[in-house]
Amino acid sequence: MKVGDTHYRSIWFDEGDDQVKIIDQRWLPHEFRVVPLVSREDFATAIRDMWVRGAPLIGATAAFAMAREMKNDPSDTNLDEAWEELHATRPTAINLRWALDQMRGLLRGLPEKERAEAAHVRALEISDEDVECNRQIGLHGLEIIRKIAAGKKPGEPVNILTHCNAGWLATVDWGTATSPMYHAVEAGINVHIWVDETRPRNQGAQLTAWEMDSHGVPHHLIVDNAGGHLMQHGQVDLVIVGTDRTTAHGDVCNKIGTYLKALAAKDNNVPFYVALPSPTIDWTVRDGVAEIPIEERDDDEVTKVQGKLLDGTVTQVQICPDGTPGGNPAFDVTPARLITGLITERGVCEASAEGLAKLFPDRVVNGQQKAAG
Ligand code: MRU
């Protein structure tokens, strides 16, 4: 998407510099910084410390990391060590394991001298595939928005609530939850977005609000607790969120707080959709609440917030008494029964094993979903 007049992806390979580059998201919205990632440690730190974040982008970053590793040392030992180190960076987003498995699966079958080139090509493909998946998600999601818009009075916007940042910054481009919004704007549909701030790291306030502003999408920032009230008062027509891991049965793991939005949406008959590219589906997991590992992050993220002082300095402030212990589960699981539908690159389906099997018959063998690959 565009930043000013320039089209950016969130990660790219700069041929001139022979370097992988990212937008360092820790500084947004106040500063736009592009940094190169060179060593394995650079890539691992960028994922762990959330210079890049969002499940699809984490996957793409890991793929580029493996490609760079193969340039340095294409041995099996290095392949396995890199897989382990990168996999340990963030436990919940399944796209990380998906991308690492894609790379290792391909490279294991090749002689060492061919690995660097093959890995580079596959990493670029994984990026491009993500962009195309998200474009398709946008087109399918657009039809949902179009139907709601058709029932509106002239001039009335379709009010969409989103949580966290499942925008282009969370993917390689377009975003998952935001892609239908961007497509709706392009189609001339009047949309208005409620952007949840998304404590503790405020990805909504810092990233989604920035994206919406950059692309001229009408929006308001709301506190995380406002969603239920707005739904009770008919001010939310639709919720669209992203996901970090969706089970074979349609349970959705996403940023902490998503579950509460889904409960409020159910209570108020507001359609609740989840947008995802298929690498976010974990075909091995059946019960999301019981089986998905939930990342516990540093309590500093809860006890402090980052913001801009009036003099323009970006800084952190503590918001609680000295020594207050923080608890910081980063994700929660929304059971499939609370979800109206899953918006994937292949279309929209029910959040259930049957719904997913209809869209992904290639993942179903003798009535059982295939686990690997
Ligand atoms: O901790 P983050 O910022 O990596 O988490 C990202 C999310 O949870 C997003 O909401 C998103 O839905 C998943 S990525 C499209």
* All domains of the chain in start order, with CATH: 2-129 (1.20.120.420), 139-369 (3.40.50.10470)
Q: How far is CA 183 from CA 10, 133, 219, 307, 347, in A?
A: 19, 14, 15, 31, 15
Residue nearest to atom 9 of ligand 1 (CA): 166
Model confidence at 368, in pLDDT bands (50, 70, 90)?
low
| pLDDT tens digits, one per residue of 300-318 | 999 999 999 999 999 999 9
Among 23, 163, 165, residue to substitute to test ligand 1 (most atoms within 8 Å of Cβ): 165
Q: Ligand 1 atom closest to Cα of 53? A: 4
For residue 142, the CA-to-ligand 1 centroid distance in Å is 21
d(CA 56, CA 226): 28
Could you tell me which residues come within 8 angstroms of residue 23 by beta carbon, excluding any fewer than 6 positions away?
Answer: 8, 10, 11, 32, 33, 34, 52, 169
With 80 as the cut, is the pLDDT of residue 55 above it? yes
pTM check: above 0.85: yes
The catalytically annotated residue of 237, 244, 251, 282 is 244
255 lines ligand 1 (CB under 6 A): yes
d(CA 266, CA 273): 11
242 lines ligand 1 (CB under 6 A): yes
Q: What is the pLDDT of residue 370?
A: 65
With 90 as the cut, is the pLDDT of residue 273 above it? yes
- DSSP-based three-state secondary structure for 260: helix
Beta bridge partners of 348: 343
- The amino acid that residue 210 corresponds to is W
Report the chain's mean pLDDT, rounded to a whole number. Answer: 96
Residue nearest to atom 6 of ligand 1 (CA): 54
257 lines ligand 1 (CB under 6 A): no
pLDDT, average across residues 329-347: 98
Model confidence at 174, in pLDDT bands (50, 70, 90)?
very high
Total H helices, total E strands in the chain = 13, 20
| pLDDT tens digits, one per residue of 30-48 | 999 999 999 999 999 999 9
300 annotated active-site: no
